Amino acid sequence: MNNVGDKIINIVSFWWKTSWVNICITITITIFVLWIMVMILTGVNIFSPLYMYKTSPHKIVVFDLDETLGSFVELGMFWDSIKNILGSEYTNQDDFNDLMKLFPEFSRPNIIDILKYLVKKRDRKECSKIMIYTNNQGPRSWAQMITEYFDSRIGKKVFDQIIAAFRVRGKSVELCRTSHDKSVDDLIRCTRIPQNTQICFLDDQHHPMMEDNNVYYINVKPYTHSMSYESMANRYYENIHVDMPKKKFETLVVAHMKRYSYTVTLKRKMEQEVDQIISKQIMFHLEDFFKEPANKNKTLKKKKTKKGRTLKNRSKK
């Protein structure tokens, strides 16, 4: 009788141990399969010890357009004169790309190298997105043409999204924005990025509502550039085939551009050197952003000293 009891106890004990083993094996296999599915769907190796460091939280870079990426007002006036004088035959996207390459002075110095750096960061999944957040009062197509020019220079799409102005001439343009003031709330609303995203924001203007613990604010010196209308017309004519006499073309361009209330201010060599330094500082702070948490405000401006004009960084308070 005792032998029978012992056998029953042994059977129950074996069944109990076997059930727990099966349960543990099943749970382990299920977790492993789920991990594999996540890696397949996201393309991210979650087994990597660097995974959490690289992906949480996300980092994005947001540029203003005018006087941050470049000085596009006078270039826009010239482009408008070309459309009016020469017509649509001279004004497709390829023509605009040629115009931008013909007048590289209107882009911020070394901006192509800066954008190449950011695209590489995005390719390595160290940067989630690159965006433009602008209050430009021109049509959305103007900003798109500029971004497509940068695409052509880099060899791939640079900007993931353009957040246009809240209103242009009283008409609502960007419906996800709540005001003309740039703010972190509107940026998150328009881009649908996670609340804890770390943002590097570059703008030549100060926007108080963009100051936040998750924002690395680079307040850059406005980049401006001007040329005489005659010089622009002459350079264009010498490089692009125009089916009309040179003098007539120059006269028409100058007359059209004078319709705008714009003052041509030529830049001195020292100011051009400062612009070069500013671009180097921008790259330095972008590299710093990808190393450090956000919550830094940087101002890249000219500042007078006893010895002359120098460029210094100072934290905004």
Domains held by the chain: number = 2
Task: Give which of 177, 157, 159 is closest to 167, Cα–Cα.
Answer: 177
Rounded CA gap, 263 and 203, in Å? 23
Looking at the structure, do residues 41 and 107 belong to the same domain, yes or no? no
Q: What is the pLDDT of residue 304?
A: 37
Q: What is the pLDDT of residue 302?
A: 47
308-315: strand order across its sheet? 161-163, 129-133, 59-63, 198-203, 215-220, 296-305, 308-315
- Find the mean pLDDT for residues 303-316: 34
Banded pLDDT at 307 (limits 50, 70, 90): very low
Looking at the structure, do residues 127 and 219 belong to the same domain, yes or no? yes
Looking at the structure, do residues 186 and 265 belong to the same domain, yes or no? yes
Looking at the structure, do residues 9 and 137 belong to the same domain, yes or no? no
Looking at the structure, do residues 49 and 65 belong to the same domain, yes or no? no
Are 124 and 44 within 8 A, CB to CB?
Answer: no
Domain containing 29 equals 1-53
Looking at the structure, do residues 118 and 244 belong to the same domain, yes or no? yes
Looking at the structure, do residues 69 and 109 belong to the same domain, yes or no? yes
What single-letter amino acid sits at 232?
M
Q: What is the pLDDT of residue 33?
A: 56
The pair of structure tokens assigned to 274 is: 């400062």
Residue 175's H or E segment, with its range, is none
Looking at the structure, do residues 10 and 78 belong to the same domain, yes or no? no
Q: Which long-range contacts (CB under 8 A, 24 or more apart) does 146-151 make?
A: 146/65, 146/69, 146/70, 146/72, 146/100, 148/93, 148/96, 148/97, 149/96, 149/97, 149/100, 150/69, 150/111, 150/112, 150/115
Last residue of a domain, one of 53, 69, 91: 53
Looking at the structure, do residues 189 and 49 belong to the same domain, yes or no? no
Residue 53 has pLDDT above 50, yes or no: no
Looking at the structure, do residues 6 and 114 belong to the same domain, yes or no? no
**Over the stretch 224-283, which tens digit does the pLDDT of each residue have?**
999 999 999 999 999 999 999 999 999 999 999 999 989 999 999 999 999 999 999 999
Looking at the structure, do residues 36 and 69 belong to the same domain, yes or no? no
Are 142 and 65 within 8 A, CB to CB?
Answer: no
Strands (E) located in the chain: 59-63, 129-133, 161-163, 167-168, 171-172, 198-203, 215-220, 296-305, 308-315
Last residue of a domain, one of 9, 30, 53: 53
Looking at the structure, do residues 14 and 116 belong to the same domain, yes or no? no
Residue 90 sits in a domain whose CATH number is 3.40.50.1000
Last residue of a domain, one of 35, 53, 71: 53
**pLDDT greater at residue 10 or residue 286:** 286
Q: How many helices (H) and strands (E) does the chain have?
A: 10, 9
